[in-house]
Amino acid sequence: MIGKVLGGRYEILGQLGGGGMAVVYRAYDNYLGRTVAVKMLRPQFCSDPELLKRFKREAQAAASLSHPNIVSIFDVGDYHGVHYIVMEYIAGETLKQYIKRRGRLPVYDALSIAAEICSALDHAHRRHVIHRDIKPHNIMITKDGRVKVADFGIARAAADATLTNSGSVMGSAHYFSPEQARGGFTSERSDLYSLGVVMYEMLTGQLPFDGENPVSIAVKHMQEKPKPPSTVNAEISPAVENIVMKALEKNQALRFASAEEMLKAIRDCMFTLNTSADPKRLPGAVPPSELPDEGLNGLPADETVLSEAQPHKKKKHLPLKAVLLVALAAFLVYFAYQWVYAWINVPTINVPDVTNKPLSEAQKILASMQLGYEVVGERYDEKVPVSYVISQSPEAGSQVKARRKISLWISRGQEYATVPDVTGRSTTEATALLHASGLDVGSVVLSFHPQVPQDYVISQNPKANTRVAKGTLVDLEVSKGVEPTKVVVPNFTGQPLEAVLKQIEGLGLDKGEVTLREGPMAAGLVMDQDPKPSQEVPVHTPVNLAVSLGRGTAHKSVVQFKVPTGRPGPVQVRATVSDSLGVREVYNRPHPVGADIKMEIEWWGNRATLSVTYDGALGFEKELL
């Protein structure tokens, strides 16, 4: 690219550096005669229309920011299909290089840099621009000590292109907020969490969380509490530590409410550390004592006072000046009168409701009501279609003057994500990676596998690299390890049939015959099994089950008989019944020989058998119908 001229204007002079998504060049603006920086997307990202659209949109949003601590964006374009952004050229080094060169920073210096970053964030957040990738790599330190935050708004476009690339996202993962790590809703407070990580690194020379890969780091951001920075650097006061730890709260609601609130806390600490410093003066500004002695219009005092040796010149110009001053005053009075009159007589309009309407239709409605509009931002919304109005300010029904511009937020529609490849990963890693991509875990099926270790993912649906809506559930098949060769059969009696069949399948056994019969247990419960409990059998052995239909119908029968004679008395008479409830004793008493016995027997099922014994010997059996 060296020597190429982009847009007939920007001549590439040399390469400054590069990252996972873009390469940065030093260039010369032939129109305005100044040095600029040009960030060009790498060719592999220029074939994704959705990414390009987002890249341009975010760059245009960032271009609206104007602040001394934000790298200005001048232009956006493309060169033979390769898209680029023209930015302010900064002569200096990144904060990452600065920390590596100096080690951990003095507390006051770290607070000074954090204050400038926070001031930049406050300016951006007030204009609904969230950075989403605050890290030392995106913060420049100029040669005169001024802090400049780069890549505002561009990080969101980069997110989809780098999340599934471990090498590209590694640097950002150290500074992710918990909600970014799990793919949740990001807000202005997400930037404050990342700033908390940057402050931790400046004050201690260490990162609060580290790991072998982005997923392990993301899990720590979501689950672990950082070690207090004062345990690493004893010079950190409780007040400074409180700022860092509050910014690093997992719950967004417990962090600073805004960048303005965090900036005030930082400045208060700076003032405490150095009471002679003005807490409202950011580092890099020139103290009043260093300014030159100036007179009127910013010129040295000895050049603004007319010499008394030239009285004739002063008298010569007084009449003309007086005339000009009177004319100017008259013009200003007339202009002010016309402006006030026009403002007072502007009609008042009831603001119409243009939400949930296409931007083109909203524009026509507002124009018909003598109102203008401005698009102040765009955001994803799964319910509102692309290019429709999500919200407006002032709200519908408010009264405003004609020609007032109504601020509109426009929908980008459903946000999409690329499904990462989680096969071969542990369930913990897979879950974290899916959350980082804005997806969630769906159903989990457990299966034996000869190669995949237990609790690792065998397969997934949707497949890797599929483009789906954010929030989509990804179903996982997870390994139970190597299938065992033998199984100890548990006791299934008394359990519901459905639950037993699932246990049989989970143990690697097969379903055998299921026999239904009346029994003493409630309907649907297992009464008997084959193989028996505690028996060790090979896998895939069929298990036969007897399942209860319940007790059946109750019946009553009256039986009469005489105790036989011809034996010494008394005789022990015992009666048992065999029915759907099984075999049970219903009578057991001694009687004299020749005694008449009458008994009423209750039995269950379709038929039963009565057995009567005399002194243990079978007397007779009778079918009960």
Closest CA to 95 of 143, 144, 137: 137
Tell me if 438 sits within 8 A of 183, measured CB to CB: yes
The pLDDT value given to residue 163? 36
The pLDDT value given to residue 332? 77
Around Cβ 598, how many Cβ atoms within 10 Å? Answer: 8
**Domains of the chain listed by start with CATH number:** 5-88 (3.30.200.20), 93-273 (1.10.510.10), 348-411 (3.30.10.20), 422-479 (3.30.10.20), 486-548 (3.30.10.20), 554-624 (2.60.40.2560)
What is the 8-class DSSP label of residue 226?
A: P
The pLDDT value given to residue 300? 30
| Upper half-sphere CA count for residue 544 (Cβ side, 13 Å) | 5
Q: Is 236 exposed, middle or buried (0-12, 13-18, 19+ CB in 10 A)?
A: buried
Q: Which residues in the chain show pLDDT less than 50?
A: 155, 157-171, 276-318
The pLDDT value given to residue 147? 95
Tell me if 474 sits within 8 A of 440, measured CB to CB: yes
Structure tokens at 193: 């969490």
Dist. CA 180–CA 436, nearest whole Å:
6
Structure tokens at 436: 């980082």
**pLDDT tens for residues 405-433?**
898 989 988 888 899 999 999 998 999 89
Sheet holding 440-447, edge to edge: 440-447, 473-479, 457-461
The pLDDT value given to residue 334? 67
The pLDDT value given to residue 319? 65
Dist. CA 179–CA 435, nearest whole Å:
9
The pLDDT value given to residue 295? 30
Helices 427-436 and 214-223 sit at what angle, rounded to 10 degrees?
A: 80
Residues annotated as catalytic are 133
**pLDDT tens for residues 94-133?**
999 999 999 999 999 999 999 999 999 999 998 888 888 8
The pLDDT value given to residue 579? 81
- Quick one: CA dihedral 484, 490, 493, 498, positive or negative? negative
Give the global pTM.
Answer: 0.48
**pLDDT tens for residues 14-44?**
998 776 677 899 999 988 889 999 988 887 7
DSSP secondary structure string for all residues of 33-96: TEEEEEEEE-GGGTT-HHHHHHHHHHHHHHHT---TTB--EEEEEEETTEEEEEEE---EEEHH
Residues 6+ apart with CB under 8 A from 541: 487, 509, 510, 531
Residues 6+ apart with CB under 8 A from 166: 213, 214
The pLDDT value given to residue 278? 44
The pLDDT value given to residue 338? 63
